Structure 1
Amino acid sequence: MNAARRVHDFLVVVVMSELTESEIQALCERYPLPEGVEDCVMSREDLAETLQVSLNTVTSWLSKGMPMLQEGGPGKSYELQLSACFAWRQAQKADEDLRSDKVKRAQAAMRLALVGGATGDTIEALDPKTRRDIMAAQIEQERFQRERNQLMRRDDVHEMMELVYGIIRDRMNAAPDLIERRNALEPKVVQELIDACDDIVTDVRGTIDRFWRERPMRDGANERRDLFDA
């Protein structure tokens, strides 16, 4: 089993199950708090403000296994150790990145195979004529699409995506409270609704982030760097 696979398996375990004290300590050592941040015990509200997420998101993380010192209830507030919660969240992000990188490698290998390359090759492994033909075809396709208004400026696409994400996030965060007030739902149903809305917001954010990671800025003329294939 290679190192990347071992790390992936470890992360899957720690973000999907209840952690032991030794596992929490191992996570905190692997993902320590940023320099200058003092560790302390927080409420759900405090943690949400510190990590700049909604209270619903923190609640969703707790349901998925984020460690806690004390579970909240009637007359009792949640107690959350900042270092443990931060480390758990960083491990979760690392697992998402590992899965995204695996998909990206598979996509690149498939694209290369379709133009005559072998597994593990890059475009530089192709003969000069094939490389020139690929680049010439790409330039011609971009020119044609630009003339048909099928190419957009990268900054415009980014701004539009962030605007749409903000609308989805705000509506999803407000939806559980709104529906609860209108329908007098049971607490269990409300929590399920909160979890569903949080999962949608998290998936949208992750999809947007992966979209840009898989499309880094390319070297070349300013005109081509400024355009985005819509």
Structure 2
Amino acid sequence: MAFDIEEALRRFPLPDGQQDMTVNRRQCATALDVSEPMITRYLEQGLPVLSRGSNGQAYEFQLSEVYAWKMWRDDATRAQDAAAEQAAMQMRLLFRNDDEDDPAAQVLTAQQIAQEADADYKRNRAAELRGELARVSRVRDLIEEMLIEFRSQITTLVDFAEMEFSLEPDQVEKMQKRCDSVLVSTRHNFQRAFPVGAVSQISSGSAREADEA
């Protein structure tokens, strides 16, 4: 379902006692407990904004809209994950009836398959609430936020080392190549682990090019 700000505000009003205010980009990041670069990613995903910063003007966000959008997004993610998990469980159980090599294998009816899939889902959901399981989407968001900070730090590392340790030009070049290699390797490893939605925060350009961009 497409995001509807009016519907989201109705479904997810601010909690009692929470004052609704207009905030800037930094304050919005604080409110959502994320980094400022993550706000850029959220904006690309549809985070409501009262005014976009330009020509020295700051971004402006309404806390009630920000809260409603985040709650709507998280709720939609949970529903999508739950549906996918349920479908996967049902398909897994279907294959139990295909084990022709095992004459002792139990043949399950469609109702039994559905009941067992539902039981598996409830067990996994309970484990998630206890903090023993985490959804892939949440892990991906957390790692992407960490990668944003990692990229920010490594792109300034070469210049810092050059000034701090008075490196020679050939040493600077070697260090820059090493940093570039780390960025590329990190990006590839992330894409292998989370193939859905390629990471854009770890670029394949050089560390200095990224810092100057």
Q: Determine which of 74, 91, 100 is the counterpart of 2:55.
A: 74
Say whether 1:86 aligns with 2:67. yes
Say whether 1:173 aligns with 2:154. no
In the alignment of these two chains, the number of paired residues is 137
Taking only the aligned residue pairs, the percentage that are identical comes to: 24
Amino acid at match of 1:37: Q
1:46 is matched with 27
Question: Whose relative contact order is higher, 1 or 2, with alpha carbons under 8 Å and at least 6 apart?
Answer: 1
Equivalent runs, 1:65-144 vs 2, <5 Å: 65-116=46-97, 117-122=108-113
Q: Return closer, same or farther for 1:112/1:166 CA change in 2, 3 Å cut-off.
A: closer
1:29 is matched with 10
**Contact map agreement 1:112 1:121 (CA 8 A) in 2:** no
Q: Return closer, same or farther for 1:168/1:95 CA change in 2, 3 Å cut-off.
A: closer
Q: Distance in 1 between matches of 2:41 and 2:142?
A: 19
1:172 Cα shift?
2.7
Say whether 1:55 aligns with 2:31. no
After TM superposition, which residue ranges in structure 1, 4 or more long, deviate above 6 angstroms?
154-158, 165-168, 180-183
**Contact map agreement 1:109 1:119 (CA 8 A) in 2:** no
Q: Return closer, same or farther for 1:181/1:85 CA change in 2, 3 Å cut-off.
A: farther
Give the match's secondary structure for 1:74: coil
Q: Distance in 2 between matches of 1:76 and 1:70?
A: 9
1:180 Cα shift?
7.0
1:68 Cα shift?
0.8
Q: TM-score with structure 1 length normalisation?
A: 0.49
Give the match's secondary structure for 2:155: helix
Q: Return closer, same or farther for 1:100/1:62 CA change in 2, 3 Å cut-off.
A: same
Q: Return closer, same or farther for 1:120/1:49 CA change in 2, 3 Å cut-off.
A: farther
**Contact map agreement 2:53 2:60 (CA 8 A) in 1:** yes
Give the match's secondary structure for 1:68: coil
Q: Superposition RMSD on alpha carbons, in Å?
A: 3.8
TM-superposition CA deviations, 1:114-151 (whole Å, max 9, x none): 223244534868xxxxxxxxxxxxxxxxxxxxxxxxxx
Structure 1: segments with no counterpart, 5+ residues: 1-8, 15-22, 126-153, 159-164, 184-196, 205-230
Q: Distance in 2 between matches of 1:29 and 1:168?
A: 30
1:166 Cα shift?
7.2
Structure 2: segments with no counterpart, 5+ residues: 98-107, 117-129, 135-140, 160-186, 195-213
Q: Return closer, same or farther for 1:59/1:110 CA change in 2, 3 Å cut-off.
A: same
Q: Return closer, same or farther for 1:59/1:104 CA change in 2, 3 Å cut-off.
A: same
1:177 Cα shift?
6.0
